[in-house]
Amino acid sequence: MKKIINITSKCLLVFALLIIGSACNDGFLDRTPVTDLNNADFWKTENDLKVFNNGIYNLAATNTYPFFRGNATGASESKYLSFMGMEAVSDNFASTDANLQVWVNIGSGKEVIPASATTTTGTSWRWEFLYRCNYFLGNYEKATGVAESVRNNYAGETYFWRAWFYFDKVQEYGDVPIITHVLDETSPELFAKQDPRKDVMALVIADIDKAIAYLPTAWPTTNPDRVTKWTALALKSRICLYEGTYRKYHALSDATDYNGLLTQAAAAAKEIIDNGPYIIYNTGKPTTDYRTLFTTLDLRSNKEVILPKLYAIPGMGHAVSANLGGTTKMLAGVTKDLVDDFLCTDGKPIALSSLYSDNTIENVFDNRDPRLAQTALDPRRENEMLGSSYGNFPRFKGMSSITWETLSGYYYVKNFNKAERDLTGSTEVTDFPVLRYAEVLLNYAEAKAELGAIAQGDLDVSIKLLRDRAGMPNLTLTPEMDPKYASEGLSALLVEIRRERRVELSFENLRYHDLMRWKKGAYLNKPVLGMRLEDADKATGGRYAGATAATVEVDGKKYVNVYAGTTAATRSFNENKNYLHPIPTNVRAKNPNLTQTPGWTE
């Protein structure tokens, strides 16, 4: 069992004693009482600044806010609040598990206005985190006995977290209220209306720029595991790419400077590429190196990982593998649509490659990008991946002696750790790479392509490194157009960059946000399919005899119809409202000045 001392576990008790209380409402601004913290005595030393900020890290590491969940802590919460379960909101993952219904509903256009702001609604109109950030920023300069540069280091941390907090709010709701100071019960801002998206994003970028300016490139070894200038640059590349493409593809009338944002995204990523300490994890083992990032207990020494979420017991354990691989079934299924997007080993899409066949599930994995078999289970690698020897995978409902039941036929294995699957409670400690260098490289390539300023050298310092790890051919400036995307109105190069992003970053809480910023909600209206499953396969004597999975015919072949018989079978993503989420009913009851998200009606 790994033993680590990290911010989120070490300082939990200390911070709880200093800042006592929890959210007092789920309305416009949740506030944590600070009456137990004596300002006159507290803001004196560097340790005071560190201890307060440790509490901000600790709150980020809870399950309340979606941006830093990774492997969510807690036994049942690990199932539906981890990035793994949250992927059911996208076209990468499907589930009929009741715990994941909130994500399935959002992805299928069945989201409803929630009564209150809780983690089970799928969105997070919660504000405790902002209060703590603002409290620090309003008080840290009182530590006059601490050198200004040191004070600024800690302020940089808080600006980093506030930028991420507000960025997440914009992704969810668009317009939200801007609050940059601490409120009390009499503050008129408690009943403020939303500020325009462009103004909120101006604050986000100003905050992340301050974080970059204030944070050190590395903290002293006596003060480890904290965000740095590089972490802030990585987040800025994500923020600016998201907002730049969102403004471009949604044609926002009041926020047209998307090229400026894309330029900033590319510059932030290039600063890390040119001067940062990160490299792509590659030991020359293309069939295992990619998945190692998601099954390693301790990621602090991995040079690809920019910001890991660290776990330890007691107090910071999870149960992702236990939920994924219990003795009876897997949670759900990777979709055919994601599986189809992995290239063949000749570097071509399946529609253009002579190497592709789906006559059997094993054929699907033959001659494919090795990342496919590290994301979804190749049945021939059952014992290696799952630590089981049941045989005859995949296993559908209705088959005899069912164990490890699947929904789509494609088992998710990317961050399944067989060594931890039988641990009880929330005692798994596999770390999760919330920000990693691979994303920075993809941000750079996409931003440059969107700007129309990409050269082969840009691909060589970005996507080539990811393909090298997988043993795949490099991307060139003139790839052949994949017929699957020929009607999208995009260049073949941008199609391939987006494909690389989907393949490399699946199940990392990015795919759904990518679809939203690209204005591709229509992808979520496609039927959700699984593996090929012909009638003869289900008949007596067939490989999947007794399987009750429904199928649908596509181009003369039958595939698993994943959501047949469920409400998610009818897809209804609404272009006029579903790119953003509704504000909970009781939030607007407490503050009638808040307007409901456009397109949503009570």
Instruction: Give the residue with greater pLDDT, 319 vs 41.
Output: 319
47 alpha-carbon distance from chain centroid: 32
Checking if the pLDDT of 516 tops 70, the result is yes
How confident is the model over 531-586, as pLDDT tens digits?
999 999 999 999 999 999 999 999 999 999 999 999 999 999 999 999 999 999 99
Position 194 in a domain: yes
Task: State how far the Cα of 80 lies from the Cα of 423, in Å rounded to an integer.
Answer: 18
Q: Provide the pairing of β-strand 551-554 with 557-561.
A: antiparallel
How confident is the model over 289-319, as pLDDT tens digits?
999 999 999 999 999 999 999 999 988 999 9
Position 130 in a domain: yes
Position 411 in a domain: no
Q: Which of 191, 295, 208 is nearest to 507 (CA)?
A: 295
How confident is the model over 144-179, as pLDDT tens digits?
999 999 999 999 999 999 999 999 999 999 999 999
Helix (H) or strand (E) holding 334: strand 333-334
Q: Which two tokens stand for residue 473?
A: 């051919």
* Cβ-based burial of 150 (10 A; exposed 0-12, middle 13-18, buried ≥19): middle
Mean pLDDT of the region 390-405:
83
Helix (H) or strand (E) holding 434: strand 432-436
Q: Give 487's contacts (C-beta < 8 A, 6+ positions apart).
A: none
Q: Which two tokens stand for residue 71?
A: 């492997």
Q: Give the type of residue at 293.
A: L
Q: ω into residue 394 within 30 of 0, thus cis?
A: yes
Task: State how far the Cα of 248 lies from the Cα of 256, in Å rounded to an integer.
Answer: 7
In the chain the first and final C-alpha atoms are separated, in Å, by 50
What pLDDT sits at residue 369?
98
Host domain of residue 179: 1-65+124-227
Q: What's the pLDDT band for 601 if we cut at 50, 70, 90?
A: confident
Position 156 in a domain: yes
Q: Give 601's contacts (C-beta < 8 A, 6+ positions apart).
A: none
DSSP 23: -
Count of domains observed in the chain: 1
Cα atoms in the 13 Å half-sphere on the side-chain side of 447: 29
CATH code, domain carrying 164: 1.25.40.390
Position 245 in a domain: no
CB atoms within 10 A of CB 566: 14
Q: Which two tokens stand for residue 363?
A: 């054929």
What pLDDT sits at residue 8?
37
Please report the sign of the dihedral spanned by the C-alpha atoms of residue 171, residue 176, residue 178, residue 181. negative
Q: Does pTM surpass 0.85?
A: yes
Q: What's the pLDDT band for 13 if we cut at 50, 70, 90?
A: very low
Percent of the chain with pLDDT strictly greater than 90: 80
Position 168 in a domain: yes
Position 19 in a domain: yes
What pLDDT sits at residue 274?
98
Checking if the pLDDT of 518 tops 70, the result is yes
Position 246 in a domain: no
Mean pLDDT of the region 1-23:
34
CB–CB of 25/590 below 8 Å? Answer: yes
**Phi then psi dihedrals of residue 501, to 5 deg:** -65, -45
Cα atoms in the 13 Å half-sphere on the side-chain side of 537: 23
